[in-house]
A and B are shown apart, each in its own frame.
Chain A
């Protein structure tokens, strides 16, 4: 079975703190993609990153970084020096190009950054 687990339902941090959002996935497929999306209070869903299963390099984009570890089936997302504008719900997702591109989303982590 394919599954994405975001165990942290809600997280609150004080502005400028670092925060890591956890994502653990389950699959027996060897070819898959992992994604993170952001849903700010306005409700739209914004694509943040895509990672394929053959590329375990970590990625940094400004204050955002992603740590992909196949050994632990995790794709964690860290925000450094958090800001109030980072307050949002963040979704991790898994997709399979060989089976109709079905996407599996986690249930989301609601992040609140307190000024």
Chain B
């Protein structure tokens, strides 16, 4: 079946612009996670959605970052007024239930470059 998809695969933007990154989780997966991976760094947790519960936003690095998940499926991560330090690969993952204990299925990521 189809895996997690993300778009765009690459995004180059200028400092100060806003960007939107999209994630389509695996159909039926109720949990959705956003991470970012900077060069030489581990994956950094950003935000977690589980069903209709309030999202866990504890990993968002600043108020320039926000995310929403519409209809319990597609999610959009928005970065406002991008900075050069926002350059990273943004990865989305999903799994079937509330499950930090369970395997996460990752999308291919969006490589963001802020000039």
| Chain B binds chain A | no
Residues of B within 8 A of A (CB): none
